[in-house]
A and B are shown apart, each in its own frame.
Chain A
Amino acid sequence: SQQGEEDPQALSIQEGENATMNCSYKTSINNLQWYRQNSGRGLVHLILIRSNEREKHSGRLRVTLDTSKKSSSLLITASRAADTASYFCATDYSGTYKYIFGTGTRLKVLA
């Protein structure tokens, strides 16, 4: 399976702390995205990083990509209770916009 794997599967932190989750994938990619899913809702796009980029920022989000290790990380700084959700990475292997989603990290931010 080409499915990416997120690590950890679950993460519980206190409000104000930083949250880091990782995604590993198996073959070369064109780009990688991170999505958030609140309980019982659809996925929401957070950020995209292309294969020739190493780091991107968007507000409190920081994404890194290491193509040599076939891994990406998502850092959420100064977490809030509203950040409680599942986070998925999605990889485009073929350049056809057919994304393969990872297994997800369940983040719980305690107030």
Chain B
Amino acid sequence: DAGVIQSPRHEVTEMGQEVTLRCKPISGHNSLFWYRQTMMRGLELLIYFNNNVPIDDSGMPEDRFSAKMPNASFSTLKIQPSEPRDSAVYFCASSSRIIQETQYFGPGTRLLVL
């Protein structure tokens, strides 16, 4: 059974460019979470969806960040325009309706904004 899939695994871009991160949750999971991990701030929850609906986006740092979940098997996190301080590892995680407490993490996207 495939786990959470994220793409790309690595992204290097220049300041001002648009960045789109993608996530495919585990099939059958109904909750999806986007996290950002940095040395300074640790692991921060950005937004989470339940049944494709954004439930809490209070962790989204600013309007440059947006997230969508058009269907149960796909989500995107977009940064436009990107800034050097957005450099981090971005994780997507999903959880099932049956065991909602346990989150399954993807391998992450390592983003570097120059």
Contacts and interface: CB of A to CB of B under 8 A. Distances in A.
Interface of A: 3, 31, 33, 35, 41-45, 48, 88, 92, 96-104
11 contacts: A42-B4, A42-B106, A43-B43, A43-B93, A45-B103, A48-B101, A97-B100, A98-B56, A99-B103, A101-B45, A103-B42
B107 A99 contact: no
Q: For chain A, what secondary structure do more than half of its interface residues adopt (helix, strand, loop), or is it mixed?
A: strand
A102 B91 contact: no
- For chain B, give the interface size range: 20 to 34
Interface of B: 4, 31, 35, 42-43, 45, 48, 55-56, 91, 93, 95, 100-108
Q: For chain B, what secondary structure do more than half of its interface residues adopt (helix, strand, loop), or is it mixed?
A: strand
A4 to B, nearest CB: 10
Contacts of B91: 42-43
